[in-house]
A and B are shown apart, each in its own frame.
Chain A
């Protein structure tokens, strides 16, 4: 990117749409299918306008049949297409779990390497919009458990703009989790922003005193917490995982080695979670770098409540992150 490269105001939603449009333009094999992606314009208006531009063959509204249309995406990928399947929310993706886990993740291996599945599945994840317990969960950590698929969590405009194309180039199934709270995120994005790597974590803010490891919807809160901590002379590093599978263990360990303290911020529940996995990898790979035990800020272990004050209390918040870090670093001699 040159110094004169132009930037423009853009939202996460628009960045995602730009990425979809670019993919549809660049590769005839690419098509988008899912519930209400066409006429409705996408449940979260991500695909708004694309039907008019690309027609109903390539912007396909599907019946409410998650298993069938996700499986059809797998079959179409096997048949030479480059499908992008949109599932409204991660909670609905459970209806397609058979296809994702039993087929998408296994067929390459079960076929002894004969059949790869170049499929991208996008879905919304996360809470914060008072949508209660069937539209708000963060189950991306579950998916990260499954070998054979890749799990991306774009948290920035650059990643919303750039991850899709790279995911489409991947020969294997890639799941992209878009946090519902991010769609209205607005900021500057270079006009020539494009594809980005999908396997490296990124230091969003360098620091020396503590590593705040997060991804997706909690990146913003974590950066804000880091800002507040800076006012208390605590210099926090913020690591955005970007990909939960593969997990960029090297970057995690590097960061921990720099700071010797870690707080993991994850909107998922803590039991059996990706935060637990990260913590375990730190134990395995950087035990002798730790000066205090790893801490986690996760969602309370309840189905997401509707009421605003309860939902807020259930989710990681800036103040809980700040407080956790302050206790940890404050206890330093």
Chain B
């Protein structure tokens, strides 16, 4: 439970590496566009950007199969994009349009997608963990070899639900991959200011859940750890806990003046920007050319343009539908 860092940088495979870069770039550019659209008041409500943390979602998704399930937090655009949820549907959701992936009823914090088994967008810190435990319970009881990946921030470890769920998942040996995205701040509260024990893996192992810390700024390290953990979970070994040490470059939300952290700290982490460091590494290994990058940028830009166009062209759900989906169609309310 100490370091999972490999002692030597492994050689990378070009196509997959470019794919990882492409996924991180898609998220980065998408989030930048979201910030812009928020300022243009196209997106409203709370908006939490994933910039700086892209390697975590992208790396973990590589370890998941189409049948696996994902439970995420309110900072989940990156996870949804990396999972394959349509960018247009995500953008339309943030616009509040009925073509959105939650028909405009969820917004930025509540992206849902049945096709990719993406179970939200949970905006209660810690609230998603019991769901993940239950999804895994259903898989186990039905004899399915599936994994449920549950993302949550380090703030959630202070919640009772975290401890209840570590215990229950371990007790029942449920196939949950717990992915803790430790970006050091629960909104503005630093981990060391809120936890008596800041070694998060220690908390998980105290429930007999195997746990490893991972460099969340290194997409290769994330993927490797996730592959290993997911395989163990899929094999029926019970839950696994990965702590991804990462950092958000942007404020907590669009209303956050960031009084709780100093600029040097932000800048220091930006030195480790997962996109930049990965690009440098790919160039060093001769896997990335300028033309590749230009192409990836162009593709990302085109995708975002299409997503925005889709959202703009989207329609408002008629007011008569307001009380739909409180109960299932056909069920009496």
Interface residues of A (CB under 8 A from B): 31, 57, 62-63, 65, 67-81, 83, 98-99, 102-103, 107-116, 147-148, 150, 170-172, 199, 246
- Whether B84 is near chain A, meaning CB under 8 Å from some CB there, is no
A78, A81, A172: the one contacting B331 at CB < 8 Å is A172
Give the size range of B's interface with the partner.
35 or more
Residues of B contacting A83 in the complex (Cβ-Cβ under 8 angstroms): 134
> Which of B49-57, B58-66, B104-112, B297-305 touches A?
B104-112
Are B105 and A110 touching (Cβ within 8 A)?
yes
Closest 7 CB pairs of A and B: A75-B134, A71-B130, A79-B138, A112-B103, A68-B164, A111-B112, A65-B164
Known contacts A76-B138, A113-B324, A147-B333; can you find 6 more A-B pairs with CB under 8 A? A63-B171, A73-B134, A103-B131, A148-B327, A171-B330, A171-B331
Are B168 and A72 touching (Cβ within 8 A)?
yes
Are B135 and A98 touching (Cβ within 8 A)?
no
Are B326 and A109 touching (Cβ within 8 A)?
yes
A73, A80, A98, A111: the one contacting B106 at CB < 8 Å is A111
The answer for the CA separation of A132 and B106 in the assembled complex, in Å, is 41
The answer for the CA separation of A74 and B119 in the assembled complex, in Å, is 12
B45 to chain A, nearest CB (A): 13
Chain B, Cβ-Cβ closest to A106: B110
Are A108 and B131 touching (Cβ within 8 A)?
no
Interface residues of B (CB under 8 A from A): 69, 98, 100-106, 110, 112-114, 119-122, 124, 127, 129-139, 141-142, 148, 160-161, 164-165, 167-168, 171, 324-333
Are A109 and B130 touching (Cβ within 8 A)?
no
Residues of A contacting B333 in the complex (Cβ-Cβ under 8 angstroms): 147, 246
The answer for the CA separation of A170 and B327 in the assembled complex, in Å, is 10
A65, A75, A113: the one contacting B131 at CB < 8 Å is A75
The answer for the CA separation of A250 and B214 in the assembled complex, in Å, is 60
B102, B110, B135, B167: the one contacting A78 at CB < 8 Å is B135
Are B138 and A78 touching (Cβ within 8 A)?
yes
Are B102 and A110 touching (Cβ within 8 A)?
yes
Are A68 and B133 touching (Cβ within 8 A)?
yes
The answer for the CA separation of A114 and B69 in the assembled complex, in Å, is 14
Known: A75-B136, A112-B325, A199-B332. A67 touches B164 (CB 8 A): yes
The answer for the CA separation of A68 and B160 in the assembled complex, in Å, is 9
B209 to chain A, nearest CB (A): 14
13 pairs, CB–CB < 8 Å, chain A vs chain B: A68-B168, A69-B168, A71-B161, A72-B134, A75-B135, A79-B142, A109-B105, A110-B120, A111-B110, A111-B325, A112-B98, A112-B104, A113-B324
Residues of A contacting B160 in the complex (Cβ-Cβ under 8 angstroms): 67
Residues of B contacting A63 in the complex (Cβ-Cβ under 8 angstroms): 164, 167-168, 171
Residues of A contacting B161 in the complex (Cβ-Cβ under 8 angstroms): 67-68, 71, 98
The answer for the CA separation of A174 and B295 in the assembled complex, in Å, is 52
Are A68 and B165 touching (Cβ within 8 A)?
yes
Residues of B contacting A70 in the complex (Cβ-Cβ under 8 angstroms): 130
The answer for the CA separation of A75 and B164 in the assembled complex, in Å, is 15
A232 to chain B, nearest CB (A): 39
A74, A80, A150, A170: the one contacting B130 at CB < 8 Å is A74
Which residue among B131, B167, B333 has the maximum number of chain A CB atoms within 10 Å of its CB?
Answer: B131
A77, A78, A80, A109: the one contacting B325 at CB < 8 Å is A109
Chain B, Cβ-Cβ closest to A149: B327
The answer for the CA separation of A12 and B33 in the assembled complex, in Å, is 60
Known: A81-B141, A102-B127, A103-B131. A147 touches B120 (CB 8 A): no
Are B119 and A112 touching (Cβ within 8 A)?
no
Chain B, Cβ-Cβ closest to A117: B328
Residues of A contacting B120 in the complex (Cβ-Cβ under 8 angstroms): 107, 110-111
Are B114 and A99 touching (Cβ within 8 A)?
no
The answer for the CA separation of A77 and B119 in the assembled complex, in Å, is 12
Chain B, Cβ-Cβ closest to A119: B134
Residues of B contacting A65 in the complex (Cβ-Cβ under 8 angstroms): 164-165, 167-168
Chain A, Cβ-Cβ closest to B328: A171
Are B130 and A99 touching (Cβ within 8 A)?
yes
Residues of A contacting B131 in the complex (Cβ-Cβ under 8 angstroms): 71-72, 74-75, 78, 103
B190 to chain A, nearest CB (A): 25
Are A79 and B102 touching (Cβ within 8 A)?
no
Residues of B contacting A57 in the complex (Cβ-Cβ under 8 angstroms): 141
Residues of B contacting A77 in the complex (Cβ-Cβ under 8 angstroms): 134, 138
Are A112 and B101 touching (Cβ within 8 A)?
yes
The answer for the CA separation of A70 and B133 in the assembled complex, in Å, is 10
The answer for the CA separation of A192 and B136 in the assembled complex, in Å, is 37
The answer for the CA separation of A204 and B153 in the assembled complex, in Å, is 53
Are B326 and A147 touching (Cβ within 8 A)?
yes
Are A81 and B167 touching (Cβ within 8 A)?
no
The answer for the CA separation of A112 and B322 in the assembled complex, in Å, is 11
B100, B102, B133, B138: the one contacting A71 at CB < 8 Å is B133
Which residue among A103, A110, A148 has the maximum number of chain B CB atoms within 10 Å of its CB?
Answer: A110
Chain B, Cβ-Cβ closest to A198: B332
A86 to chain B, nearest CB (A): 15
The answer for the CA separation of A98 and B128 in the assembled complex, in Å, is 10
The answer for the CA separation of A71 and B156 in the assembled complex, in Å, is 15
A71, A98, A112: the one contacting B134 at CB < 8 Å is A71
